[in-house]
Amino acid sequence: LTCIFCSMEGFYSGKVAQYMADVLEDSRDKVQENLLANGVDLVTYITRFQWDMAKYPIKQSLKNISEIISKQVTQIDNDLKTRASAYNSLKGNLQNLERKNAGSLLTRSLADIVKKDDFVLDSEYLITLLAVVPKTAYPEWQKTYETLAEMVVPRSSNLLFEDNDSGLFSVTLFRKAIDDFKHKARENKFTVRDFQYNEEEMKADKEEMTRLSTDKKKQFGPLVRWLKVNFSEAFIAWIHIKALRVFVESVLRYGLPVNFQAMLLQPNKKTMKRLREVLNDLYKHLDSSAAAIIDSAMDIPGLNLSQQEYYPYVYYKIECNLLDLKV
């Protein structure tokens, strides 16, 4: 039973908490506001903990209770994987489109920059090209673009858009001069974009971005609500596992009839060492082997517990800062 309990320790509540941070895009304050158990903050829930008889009937065996909890958290984990996969796919597709519409003029989409009037379309002989020109080279472009190749239409270049580093210029020329123009432009550090104006494709891209953005907003609210509810369920299950572990370990160590008292201690970092010393002095008579382990800095054969984890009293740590856990 102890091994079953260990395998479920905090893992699922931590996963839900971390994914909530991803969905809320690491707004830590907002995440903490949503990490509640039974509608209260985690410390309050723990300090007021009472066994949930309805969910986990104590008349059942420990094995049955652990299986009930295991099935519950496994279902939460499976649902989380399904919901996260769908939302992450939607978010990733939207981010890919957004990246195409941002960044350098050398790579970004030009669909939201150019318009139909910027191009000579449906001409058998003429074509409009788009060139990215560094801002420092504007005078050079204006002086040389007409002579980069034969058959460039005079005064056909217009500045369509600029960012911090470069400008996007249009230029019209005869189709048979395209290769020569691109070659000479490259020699002068002007980059001709491989772009063809297609109104239908550009419209489809804009509609796809609108659809993805709308779908993301629609999924966001229900997903956050699901995460809140199921974080609470997973955390509550985790604390019940802690209670089971305290019971099982106490019986294994101290025998029957059951006679132990569980309590919560919340020391600050400065007093942690002193608290350990006081507790060890108070309870070392309960388990002489623990004192020997602490003194010799050795592990218990077969139990795989390090010296820091084994004491003459039963001890389990409850981590409430689940956003700091690696899951």
Per-residue model confidence (pLDDT) at position 304? 46
Report the distance separating Cα 318 and Cα 241, nearest Å.
11
Which domains does the chain carry? 1-98+221-264 (1.20.1460.10), 116-196 (3.30.70.100)
Per-residue model confidence (pLDDT) at position 290? 65
Tens of pLDDT, residue by residue, the chain (327 residues): 444 444 455 566 889 999 999 999 867 678 888 999 999 999 999 999 999 999 999 999 999 999 999 999 999 999 999 999 999 999 999 999 888 888 899 999 898 899 999 999 999 999 999 999 999 999 999 999 999 999 999 999 999 999 999 999 999 999 999 999 999 999 999 999 999 999 898 889 889 999 999 999 999 999 999 999 999 999 999 999 999 999 999 999 889 998 889 999 988 889 999 999 999 999 998 887 765 555 544 444 444 444 457 899 999 988 888 876 554
Query: Is it true that the peptide bond before 301 is cis, omega within 30 degrees of 0?
Result: no
Report the distance separating Cα 310 and Cα 294, nearest Å.
8
In 81-118, which positions are buried (b, 16+ CB within 10 angstroms) versus exposed (e)?
Answer: eebbeebeebbebbeebeebeeeebeebbbbeebeeeb
Per-residue model confidence (pLDDT) at position 278? 93
Per-residue model confidence (pLDDT) at position 322? 80
N-terminal to C-terminal alpha carbon distance within the chain: 22
Per-residue model confidence (pLDDT) at position 307? 44
Report the distance separating Cα 289 and Cα 118, nearest Å.
85
26: left (phi over 0), alpha (psi -120 to 50) or beta: left
Per-residue model confidence (pLDDT) at position 11? 60
Per-residue model confidence (pLDDT) at position 321? 82
